Structure 1
Amino acid sequence: MSFRPLHDRVVVKRIEETAKTPGGIIIPDTAQEKPQQGEIIATGPGARGDDGKVVALDVKKGDKILFGKWSGTEVKINGEELLIMKESDIMGVLEA
């Protein structure tokens, strides 16, 4: 099954962070915060402006992004935990 987001929504896969402190202490899963970084898996076509024309998104598939701690809605698609959020919930694109 495939999923195509509508309007200005994007599908994001969280990027897992390391579970070790700089001193080498391993942090258990229950004590870790959910990562606020992710990779865009799919995007919608864009939002409609006041004139009725579609305004393209500033992000694209494959972009690494930073988003708010409580952003998006968690869903499970094909056994994979993903987030669906609006483009406005994205704080920025991480560049190498």
Structure 2
Amino acid sequence: MADTNYKVTLPWNFPYEQRIRAGVTVTKAYGYEGPLTDEQVTEITEDGQFVIEAIEEQVTKPLTKAELLAQAEADGLTLDVTIDNKRDEIVAAIEAATQD
């Protein structure tokens, strides 16, 4: 099972610059963001000094044909394809143009 990403912070009035729990160093200024195991989450939560929240996975969608063509134009690429071509053809044309 893959570890889930979490954001762990300390309260603003915490008296020290950092706190280490379950092998994770949480700084007062920046906190901690990254993967934690279930055991680490349990130990950090039970400590009572931390604010812990799961970070949702960012889902990225592939660019549309229009977005691909606009990006290629912004990058100064000259392509022999239009929006009427298939997406794979546009991607191939961009890859070919960037290899030149």
TM-score interval, smaller chain: under 0.3
Q: Normalized against structure 1, the TM-score is what?
A: 0.22
Q: Which of structures 1 and 2 has the bigger CA Rg?
A: 2
Q: Normalized against structure 2, the TM-score is what?
A: 0.22
Higher strand share: 1
**Structure showing greater relative contact order (alpha-carbon pairs closer than 8 Å, 6 or more residues apart):** 1
